[in-house]
Structure 1
Amino acid sequence: MAATTEIFTNAANVALTNTQVTVVAPATHNYHNHPTPSEQSLVPLAKLYRHCAPGAFLNSAERPDPPKCSPKTRQKLLVETKGFAKAERPTSSAMWLTGSAGSGKTALSQTTAEQLKEEGYVLGCHFFFRSSKDGKRSDGHCWVPNLVHEMVQILPETLPYIEKIILSNHLVFDQQPDGVLEELFLKPLKAITTPKRFSFRRTFKIIFGRSSTSTSATHIPRLVVIDGLDECKSPEMQVHILKTIANVIPKLPIPIRFLIASRPETHIRAAMNDLFNHIPLHRINLDEDQDIRKDLEGYYHDRFSVIRRNHPSLRGREAYQTWPSQQQIEALIIKSSTQFIFASTVMNYISHRGGNPFTRLDVVLGIKVRPQKDKPYLELDILYRIILLTVEEDDRGVVFLVLSFIYFAGKGEYPYLQLRTSPEFLEELLKLEVGDVPRLLDPLVSILSLPEAPSGTIKMLHASFFDYLCNPDRSEDLTMSFERAHEVMAWRVFDEGERLGWQPSEVRSSTTTESDVLASNRDYVVLDSFLLHASRANMSLDLMLALFALEQSITAMMQNSLAKVSSPPNQPWLADRGSQINTLLVSKLGGHLSCHDDIVSGPDGLSEVERHQQEMANLIVQSITNGPDESILASLIRQLRSGLRRYRTGSGLSGKVTNNISRLLVRALVRAWHPTRVMFYPTDILLLLQDPARVIRTSSEADLKCGKEIREFIREFSCQRSVSKIQDNDSVMFIIDLERRWMGQSAERPYI
C-alpha cells in the first residue's frame, strides 16, 4: 500500500473534486499597512503639502482681494516686468522690484503674475505676509515647498523624481531652504531636461513649448515671483533666501527668471549688491517712477467715476457728473506723495456705501472734522504702526526726536535755525555718536530715504506719515511729542543769544518802525526764537533759570529805555517780550512747585518768581501809562489768557502771580485813553474783572480809588454795549452780573 502524503493537513477553504483542487481565498488583509502603488504616490505629495504655505499662492483663498494695478495705470512698468519674464536670453536672471511701503510693489507683482500665468509663463509664486493667520506666509522655510508644489502641477514630468527623493530622504524638509531647493527643485529639473532619460523631442516640447523643428513662439513656464520678501519674519532668513536664489541661478538647466519684490531695507539692499554682482540683475525702483503722478490721476478719476455710477447718494444724479473738481483731485495727488496705498485707502473710505462721499472727501482734504467713529486711514495707520514697532523700544525716544527735526525742517517754520536733515547735522545737534542717525533710522527706510553721504539729506517718502504721528486718535501710544525737540532748539538759540550778549541795539531814529528794528538786528530774532521754543518746550529747572536771567536782562533794558526823554522804538517790543516771559513762567510753574523750592520761596515771604513778576509788571504798566500802545495791551491780554483759569481759582504760585499781574493790568487799562479801552471791550480782559476780591485786596485809599475807576470802566462798557445794540443774551447777562459784583449788590460774593 502506497504511503499517503498529507499535503493538506490542517488546511482550510480547500475542496477536492475528482482530480481538481479548488482553493477558496478569503478577503486579504494588509497587516503591515503597505500602501498600494496609487496610494504610495500620494504619500510624498501629502508630506510636501504639509510644508507649504497655502495662503502664499497666487490665487489663494486667503487672499480673496489681492491688490492689483488699476486699468491704465503702471502700463510702462508692466511692459518692463513682462518683457523681463519673456526675454529669449539663454541664462537665468533676476529682477528686484523695490520701493517704499505702499508704493504698489505687490499690486505690480500680482498683476504681472496673473497676466503671465494666462500665457503659460509662470512656474511658481510666493507672496510673503507678516500677519498671516497661521504664520506660514511669514515663514521663510515654506517658499521652496510652495515652488515645488506648483512645479509639479505645471511640469508633471518632475513628479516621479520628487516622489523618489522624498521617499528616500525622510529628512529632506528639515534642511535649510537652499538644501530643499537643491534636492526637490534643481535635481528634478535637471532630470527631465537630460535627453538620455527621455525622448529629446518630447522633453523639449514639454519644457519649451515647441517641437525640435518648430520655430513658433515659446511658452516656457519659467517665471518665479517672490513678493514681500521684507515680510519674511527674520532679516537673516531674508538674506538666506536671496543667497539661495543667487547660488541656484548659475546651475539651472532652463532660463528661469526670479522676480523679487521688497522694500529697500538696508540688509536686503546690501545682499542684492553683494550676491548678484555676477548675475544679471534688473532693478526697478517704484519711488523713481516718472509716471506716478499721471497714474495717480487716472486712478482717482476711475474710482470717482465708479462712485458716481454706483453709490446710492449719487446714482442717476447728472448734476454731479463733474464732481470732484480737478482742484480736489490735485489736492489728493499731493497728499498721496508717490504712494498708491494712500490713494487706495482714502478711496475705499470715500466710496463706502454707508457714508456720504461728499462729506468723506472733505474729511480727507481736511475741510471737515472727521467723525469720531470714522477711520479713513485705517489701512495706512496699521502699516505705519507695524513699521514704527520695528524700532527698538529703547531707541524709540531718540528716533522720535530725530523725526521731530525732520518735521520742523520740512515745515520751514524755523528758518533762523538753518535746520538741515543730514545725519551729520542731526548728530551734532543732538550730541550723538558718529553714525547713530543712520543706525537709528534704519528700521524706517521703507518710509524715508537715507542719503549715501553723511552730509546728504534725509527725505520723507510718505507725505502722510507726520499726519499720522501728530494725531493721537490715529497713532495712539506712538504719538510724537515735540516738547523735547523744542527744548533742544531753545538751548541752541540761547547759546546764540549768549554769544550776542542779549543786547538788542537801540535805534535812535523816531521814524524807524519795529519791523525795521527786527530786520536790522539779529538779536531780536534770537530772543523771539528762544521765547517761542521755551514756550513749547518741556520746562526743566535749567530752562526756568535761563528765563529768569533773561528776564533780568530785559528789565535792565526797559529801565534804560524808560529813563530816556524820548522812548526809543524798541521799548514796546521789550515790554511785549517781558510780558511773554511773565506769562510763560506763570503757566509753566503752576503745577511744579515742589520741584523748585529754591526759586519759589524767599526769606521775606516773597518768592523770586513773584519778585521778578512784580518788577516786570510795574515796568509794563509804567510803559502803558506813559504812552498808551495798543499793541502792548493786545500782547498782554494774549499772554495772560494761559493764566486765566488759574486766576479764577487763585491756586498755587501761578494763581498768585497771575492775580498780581492782573491787578496791575486792570489799573493800566482803566487809565488808558478811551479808544484803547473801547478796542478791548470784547476781549478776555473782562474776565479779569469777574472777581473783585482778587483785584481789590484791601480797603486802602489806593485800592478804593482803583475800585472806583473800575466801576467807571464797567459803566462805560455797558453804555458801549447799548450803543452798539448788542442783543446777545449771554453778553447781556455777563455785564449785569459784572455790574452787580462791583456795585456791591451780589449776595453771593459781596464787594469788600
Structure 2
Amino acid sequence: MSRRWMGITLPNLRISKRRGQYHVEDTGGESEGTSRDADQKISGPSGTLACFEPVNLSMPSKPIQQPMKQQPDDRRGTRVALTSAPAAVEAEGPQTYIQPRTEQQPDDSSQPRDLDSEFSRPPVEKAEPRFPDNGGIWHDLSGNIHGRPTNGPASILSNAQGTHIRQANIVAGTNVVFNHNSEDVARGKKTMLDNIASSALYNARNTFDPPQCDENTRVALLRAIKTWIKDRLATSARLQCITGSAGTWKSALMQTTARECETAGLVAATFFFSANDSVRNNLQSFIPTIAYQIALSNKSDPALGNCIFRAVDRDPSIFQRDIECQLEELIIKPLQETFPQGYVELFSSPSFPHLIAIDGLDECVDRKSQTKLLQIISTTFIDKGLPFKILLASRPERPLQAAILGDSGYVKNKSKVIDLDKHNPSVDIRKVFQNQLGKIGQESDDPSAQTNWPSPQDIETLVGAAAGLFAYASTVIKFVSQQHRWPCAQLATVIQVIKSSKATGRAVPVRKHPFAELDALYRSIFVFAQKEYATQCDDDDPLAVIRLARMFTLPLPCFNLAVVKSDRLVATSHPYRIDSRDESVADMEHIFQFKPGQLKFMFSDLHSLYTVKSDGSQGAVITPYHKSVQDFLLDPARCGDLYIPHYSVVGSWTTLALGILAEC
C-alpha cells in the first residue's frame, strides 16, 4: 500500500492476525495499548486503544459502533485518528477491509465533551510533549495532520486517514465542490476552440488596421451607445441597431465601443462579419464563436462556462447541427442549468458581462442567413429574455429593412435605431483630416510637410469632397501616408482629382487612383446586387441593375411627345413629358413595362448607396447618398468592367421614348 496520502508520508503500520483479531503496530510509535482477546501490544498514540475487527465484504455490514470513552482532562487534549470510510490494507492473500473502532479512557467529568472543540483547544498550561517524527506526520500535539496549529479554523480533513479525493476543486476553506470529471471541461473547451471563427473577434490578430474613431470624434454618438449599454433595467431595449450608407464608419463605432466596454468588463462576445473572409461571411461558426466567448467572459464565476464546455464534450456533433439547435444546446440550456431561478437578477448584476456586438451583418453573403439571424435575435434573445444586450451594425439592405427599418418590421418595436445618415459628421471629419495629416507630415522626411501642412484651404477642399463620408476621409489618409512617397505630392494628386473630376466621366489620369479602396467597396456592392437580381429574374443584360441606376440618376433632357387622339369629328393633341426625376415609382414601372414592385426589387440591395423610394409619391426614385458613387460609375479607370458609356445610357432612354410613341 502506498505510504503517502495526499503527498504526506504515512506512519509505518504492520498488521498481524492472531486468534481472529487484527493487531496494528506503529513501527515508529512508543506508547502501547492492549487488545480485547490477546495480550499482544498495539502501538499507537498515547491514550488511544485501537481495536480492529475483520469485516466480511461478501455481505453488507454496519460499522461497529462502541460508546466512546474519554480520558481525564489534562488540558492537553487527545489526538484521535478518525476515518470516514474503510481503509484498504494490502496484504498477502485476499484483500480485507478493516473497520476501525476508537475508544478512550474514562473521564472524571460527568458532562460530555465536544471532540471538535477538544481538538481545536489551544494549549494553556505547558508545552506539549513531542512525538517522534514518524515520517513527517505528527510533530507535536498542537498541530494537525498537515502540521498546522489546531487553534486555527477547523479543517474538513482534520485527522482523516486513508482518504483519497480525486479530481476535486477546493474552492473555500469550508466548502468542497467535487467535480467528478473535470477533464470533460478541458476536452469540450478544446473541441469548441477548433470550431470557432477566431478571426471574427473584434480584436483578432489577423485584423489589420481596424477602423476606430479618432480622439474627440463621434463623442455624442459614443456616449449615447454606452449609456444604452450600461442601462441594465429590464425595461430597456435589448437591441440597438447602428445603420447608415456605405462608408459612414459603422465599424469604427463598433470597434471603439467594443474596446472601451471590454476594459469595463461589459463584453460577453463579439462577431465581426467580413464578405472577403470565408470563415466569417456566413453563420456556420456564429453560435459556437458567441458561446465560446460567453463561456470565458465571466472571470469571477466559471460555472456557466464549464456547463457550456461539458455540453460540447457530451455531443461534439453539435457543430454539424443547424443554428437553432446550436443556440439551444450551447447557450439556452447552459443558462437554464446554471441559473434555474431566472435571469432578471443576473442581467442587473454589474459583474455579469452582457454585451454582444455584431458588426457588418450585410457582409454575411447569404441574404437568407441575415434574415434568419435577425429572426433568432427577435424570437430568442429578446422574447425569451436572455441576459444580453445586442449591438448590431449593418447597411440598410433588404433584410434589415424588413426586420427593423421598415414600418412593419417585426423587430421595430423591440429595438432602438441610430441612423448615421441623419448625423452630419463634417466637424468630426475636419478633425480627422487635421489630426491624421498633421501627424503624417511630422513623421515624414518631407520638409514641406513638417510645418503648417496641410493648408486650411486644402483641408476645406477635402472636407467638402468627403461630404460626410468617413470612408472617403480614410481613403485619402491611407493614400497620402503611403511609404516611400512624400505626403505633399500625394495630397496634391488628391486635390487635383477632386477639382478636375467631371460628371461626363473624364477624370484626371493618375498612376494610382487615390480612391482605390473606396472603389473596391462600391464595386463589391454593385456586383452583389447584380448577382442577386440575376438569380431571381430572367434578364440577359449582365449590367441591368447598374444600367437602371445610371438611367435614374444621370441628368437627362426631357422628351416632349405629341400624343394625338382623333376620331371622325375632332383631332386634339397635347404634349407628353417624360422626366425620370419627376415621375412616381408606379409611372416609371409603367414606362419600363415592369411588373408592380419590380423597381423596388431591383434596387433592394443598393440601400447602402442610394436612397430608394418605394411609395407612390412624385420625385426621384433613387438618389445617391454621395457624389463619389456617381464618380465611380462614370470613370472607366475606376469601375472597370462595370462601366457603361454615356451614349449607351442615353440610347436606352431614347428606346423607351420611341416605344411609347409607337404604342400611341
| Residue 139 (1) aligns with residue 282 (2) | yes
In 2, Cα distance between the equivalents of 1:493 and 1:481?
19
Greater displacement, 466-475 / 249-258: 249-258
TM-score (norm 1): 0.55
Among 423, 428, 447, the alignment partner of 1:289 is 423
Listed one character per residue, the Cα deviations across residues 419-474 of structure 1 (whole Å, up to 9, x for unaligned) are 41653454355444433322222222211110141434321012111211122221
**In the alignment, does 2:490 pair up with 1:360?**
yes
> Of the candidates 441, 454, 457, which is equivalent to residue 323 of structure 1?
454
- Residue 339 in structure 1 maps to residue 469 in structure 2: yes
Q: d(CA) in 1 for partners of 2:489 and 2:449?
A: 19
Give, in whole Å, the separation in 2 of the partners of 1:126 and 1:387: 21
Counterpart position of 2:393: 261
8 Å contact 1:338–1:461 — kept in the other structure?
no
Which SS does the other structure have where 1:442 is aligned? coil
Identity of aligned residues (%): 25
Alignment of 1:23-102 (within 5 A): 37=181, 39-91=183-235, 93-102=238-247
Q: Are the counterparts in 1 of residues 402 and 410 from structure 2 also a CA contact under 8 Å?
A: no
**Structure 1 stretches lacking a partner, 5+ long:** 1-18, 24-35, 210-217, 499-752
Distance of aligned partners of 1:157 and 1:466 in 2 relative to their CA distance in 1, 3 Å threshold:
same
What residue number does 2:611 align with? 449
Matched positions, count: 447
**Does the C-alpha gap of structure 1 residues 452 and 123 become closer, same or farther in structure 2, counting only changes over 3 Å?**
same
Residues 1:230 and 2:366 are matched in the alignment: no
Q: Which amino acid aligns with 2:549?
A: L
Higher helix share: 1
Question: Whole-Å Cα distance in 1 between the matches of residues 449 and 242 of structure 2?
Answer: 42
Deviations 1:601-635 (A, max 9, x none): xxxxxxxxxxxxxxxxxxxxxxxxxxxxxxxxxxx
Contact 1:189 1:253 in 2 (8 A): no
Distance apart, 1:401 and its partner CA: 2.9
Is 1:379 equivalent to 2:539 in the alignment? no
Distance 1:451 1:371 in 2: 36
Between the aligned partners of 1:444 and 1:53, the Cα distance in structure 2 is 28
Q: Counterparts of 1:142-157 in structure 2 under 5 Å?
A: 142-155=285-298, 156-157=302-303
> How far apart are residue 253 of structure 1 and its match?
5.7
Determine the C-alpha separation between the residues in 1 that align with 2:427 and 2:384: 40
Distance 1:187 1:307, change over 3 A: same
**Secondary structure of 1:464's match?**
helix
Helix, strand or coil at the partner of 2:603: helix
Q: Which amino acid aligns with 1:88?
A: R
- Most deviating of 144-153 and 172-181: 172-181
Tell me: CA distance 1:172–1:113, structure 2 relative to 1, closer, same or farther (3 Å): same
Per-residue deviation at 1:278? 7.6
- Distance in 2 (CA, whole Å) between partners of 1:426 and 1:413 is 16
Q: Of 472, 477, 481, which residue of structure 2 is paired with 1:351?
A: 481
| Residues 181 and 490 of structure 1, relative CA distance in 2, 3 Å threshold | closer
Counterpart CA distance in 1 for 2:635 and 2:429 is 25
Of 563, 579, 585, the match for 1:423: 585
Asked if the contact 1:311–1:353 (Cα under 8 Å) also holds between the matched residues in 2, the reply is no
2:248 aligned with 1:103, yes or no? yes
**Matching of residue 176 in structure 1 with residue 322 in structure 2:** yes
Cα distance in 2 for partners of 1:356, 1:269 equals 45
Name the CA distance, whole Å, in 1 between partners of 2:310 and 2:657.
Answer: 75
What is the identity, as a one-letter code, of the residue corresponding to 1:240? Answer: K
Between the aligned partners of 1:322 and 1:66, the Cα distance in structure 2 is: 26
Cα distance in 1 for partners of 2:395, 2:259 equals 22
| 1:223/1:259 contact within 8 Å kept | yes
Asked if the contact 2:188–2:313 (Cα under 8 Å) also holds between the matched residues in 1, the reply is yes
TM-score w.r.t. the length of structure 2 is: 0.61
Residue type of the alignment partner of 1:399:
V
Are 2:249 and 1:117 equivalent residues in the alignment? no
- Map 1:355-504 → 2, pairs under 5 A: 355-365=485-495, 366=497, 367=499, 372-390=510-528, 391-392=530-531, 394-409=540-555, 418-420=579-581, 422-454=584-616, 455-457=618-620, 458-490=622-654
Q: 2: distance between equivalents of 1:316 and 1:357?
A: 7
Is the contact between residue 173 and residue 180 of structure 1 (CA under 8 Å) also seen in structure 2? yes
Looking at structure 2, the residues matched to 316 and 168 of structure 1 have their Cα atoms a distance apart, in angstroms, of 63
- Secondary structure of the corresponding residue to residue 525 of structure 2: helix
Amino acid at match of 2:253: L
Cα distance in structure 2, aligned partners of 1:435 and 1:141: 33
Find the residue that maps to 2:268 and give its secondary structure: strand
8 Å contact kept, 1:395–1:440: no
**Residue 375 (structure 1) shift:** 3.1
Query: What amino acid does structure 2 have at the position aligned with 1:288?
Result: K
Q: Deviations over 1:53-86 (max 9, x none)?
A: 0100121112132111111111111011111111
For residue 260 of structure 1, report the CA deviation from its aligned partner. Answer: 1.0
Cα distance, 1:338–1:176 mapped onto 2, change above 3 Å: farther
- Whether contact under 8 Å (1:127, 1:227) holds in the other structure is yes
Q: Distance in 2 between matches of 1:496 and 1:40?
A: 74
1-structure distance, mates of 2:386, 2:590 = 54
Listed as ranges, the matches of 1:519-668 within 5 Å are none
- For structure 2, the residue ranges without an aligned partner over 5 or more in a row are 1-90, 96-179, 501-506, 535-539, 561-577
